Structure 1
């Protein structure tokens, strides 16, 4: 792997020079991340799924419960878990830990919800951020000029809690007041791409705060961005976003009218042109944060590389430019019958952190490999939750 300069910037500075990806350098890359072994399959839907709906459809998240067991989610909207002492001993639990009510009311954000970020300090009281989606096709509702199932899709991030070690989750407040990140604009059936908060990374605890990077989808690609969010560890229901100068409330909810946007703008974190950052961890020895995400990079000679990339940071605001970690096809690169990857995250099963927000010198890159198979002359998709050993080397002097 080649070395790049760390690039420090805030979103407003990046937009002025986005086409050239030119930003102010802040010094040498502090941490190098490399593959450190062969990959292995943790879960294969073609072999051991509980049913047809049991599939990894989000990045892997884990915590230690009150009995010291690893509880890992890589869920779809039924939010099933895997339980074991470590990654190799995980076994599936076919029970749904949470399922939204399936309501055909976009303002309630209670149609389908995926657990995206988890926090606990005792293994019994477990908090979560969930990605709550509403798609009108699921309710036979109109969407003007729709050509895809995701047209008119609207999304927010909601808070949940479990008091039994993650066995059962409920919303922290009655919908729609469970949403610290509601959609920036109300639902309309004539807008195919609605501004939304769509994804959240895992949670890392740092200096008495809980941090996550959330993806704010704009009406177009240019206005979409990764945003740094935080909550006090004492109150995981109230979240703020970084606006480029300070942290501000993400939204204000009114008792009578559901959610009304108070503040939805946030500063871009991470290089311009990135899709959503899916996982962050802190390397304890160097106090460096590492983010992983899918990415495609074009070179001046016309060639390109694609796969899972990483960036590093000292403050989760200024991030280095993308560096390739795992070369692999993404969905746009794969032809009929070709597998592709999605949903990366990093977990160190030896971490002393109950929510696996820290790593030492070795950890695992987890991701999903989507594998097309032909059945009765038609393509179907199986999914594998993959584990790839990785290592960290600090370059700091």
Structure 2
């Protein structure tokens, strides 16, 4: 009897400890001033060589770190460590300007990377179809009203030195709206801005942003795969499970509505999730967002034990943003991503008690966004507290 009582007490104690760990709150705080990683005026390889995606990093098989935060003509920073990467002017990827929206291969931003061995690197791509340049498809010629976005896949077999589409178009598509492109929709439509890829359990996960169109709801969608080499293996969250099979425009045999994702934590993740990393000490995930909440504009963080249930975002840093700045501001910021130079992951998907918040600083000229953009980073500290 005493042994049973002792065993029960131990079990309850472990459960309480487990519950306490799960309930730990994470706080990300600024721990220093901004520092410039690359300056457009000093380091640009071409006029349009500017940081236009969140910073992503991986180590290749030889130990070289590749840091990518690029435009549609993608280049990398490379070096022996995250702290010592330098611009490399070699083009590693770009889209092919295809005129057919069904091919999903127009202007493409390579956005997310994952490698198991440092030699083969899988990537997600944000493909923008710019129909304002094809007046027969979108007579208004308005960029935002004609824009359709999709997510596609690319792969490198030389350690990230170059990337190609993972399959011949359109078989390289990962996530697209099931509705055919119909020209001027009055606003941008589609699936946008995939985050970095993270491993959780037996799957790899990435967030992306969905705009409202047809039956598709607006918000942060989550997808996963168990096979990075197969673009069609990704499945979206439907609100209960990962059962959404993405199909290309008008290709569904059943109602298109069956192939739409359900936004995750729509009352919490009210903005594009730019990056997700796992905090090593607590096991929790940290998401970064650039948004305006409760009248405050800046960079926010939210935490989750499972990528589905998220804490209320905390304001990390107050700053003017790409779509929320005033003419009195010298610069605007966007694309926040947490990276730890001491990450234990080849893909920099985890962070310790300190890290850097990487961002793009858009230097304003007469209240306008130009190509003058810098990649900057700010040191942060991550602390835990009890329930």
TM interval, shorter chain, is 0.7 to 0.9
Question: CA separation of 1:86/1:183 partners in 2, compared to 1, >3 Å: closer, same or farther?
Answer: same
Q: Structure 1 205/186 Cα, relative in aligned 2: closer, same or farther at 3 Å?
A: same
Aligned counterparts of 1:382 and 1:325: Cα–Cα separation in 2: 25
Partner residue of 1:213? Answer: 207
Q: Matches of residues 109-120 of structure 1 in structure 2 within 5 Å?
A: 109-120=104-115
Deviation string, structure 1 residues 83-122 (Cα, Å, up to 9, x no partner)? 0122331111111111111111111111111111111011
Matched, 1:386 2:372: no
Are the counterparts in 1 of residues 47 and 371 from structure 2 also a CA contact under 8 Å? no
- In structure 2, the partner of 1:180 is 174
User: Could you say which structure has the larger radius of gyration?
Assistant: 2
Secondary structure of 2:206's counterpart equals strand
Instruction: Map Cα deviations across residues 130-164 of structure 1 (whole Å, 9 max, x no partner).
Output: 00110112345452545x42221001100111100
Residue 190 of structure 2 is aligned to residue 196 of structure 1: yes
CA distance in 1, matches of 2:369, 2:291: 26
Instruction: Measure the CA separation in 2 of the matches of 1:197 and 1:165.
Output: 28
Do residues 160 (structure 1) and 154 (structure 2) align? yes
Q: State the secondary structure of the residue aligned to 1:66.
A: coil
TM-aligned CA distance change 1:220 to 1:194, over 3 Å: farther
What's the secondary structure of 1:213's corresponding residue? strand
Give the superposition deviation at 1:170.
1.2
- The Cα shift of 1:249 comes to 3.9
Rounded Cα–Cα distance in structure 2 between residues aligned with 1:305 and 1:378: 22
In the superposition, the TM-score normalised over structure 1's length comes to: 0.85
Q: Which runs of 5+ in 2 are unaligned?
A: 1-21
Equivalent residues of 1:177, 1:259 under 8 A apart: no
**Greater helix share, structure number:** 2
User: Aligned to 2:52, what secondary structure does the other structure show?
Assistant: coil
Alignment partner of 1:331 is 2:329: no
Q: Secondary structure at the match of 1:308?
A: strand
For 1:106 and 1:43, the matched residues in 2 are separated by: 34
- Counterpart for residue 343 of structure 2: 351
**Is contact 1:329-1:340 (8 Å) kept?**
yes
SS state at 2:143 partner? coil
CA distance in 2 between partners of 1:310 and 1:253 (Å): 33
Q: Confirm or deny: 8 A CA contact 1:253 1:259 kept in the other structure.
A: yes
Output the CA distance in 2 between the equivalents of 1:384 and 1:212: 26
The secondary structure found in structure 2 opposite 1:128 is: strand
Q: Quick one: distance in 1 between partners of 2:215 and 2:153?
A: 27
Aligned to 2:302: 311
2:65 aligned with 1:73, yes or no?
A: no
Shift of 1:331: 3.1
**Equivalent residue for 1:15?**
none
**Residue pairs, 1:78-89, within 5 angstroms:** 78-89=73-84
The number of residue pairs the alignment matches comes to: 361
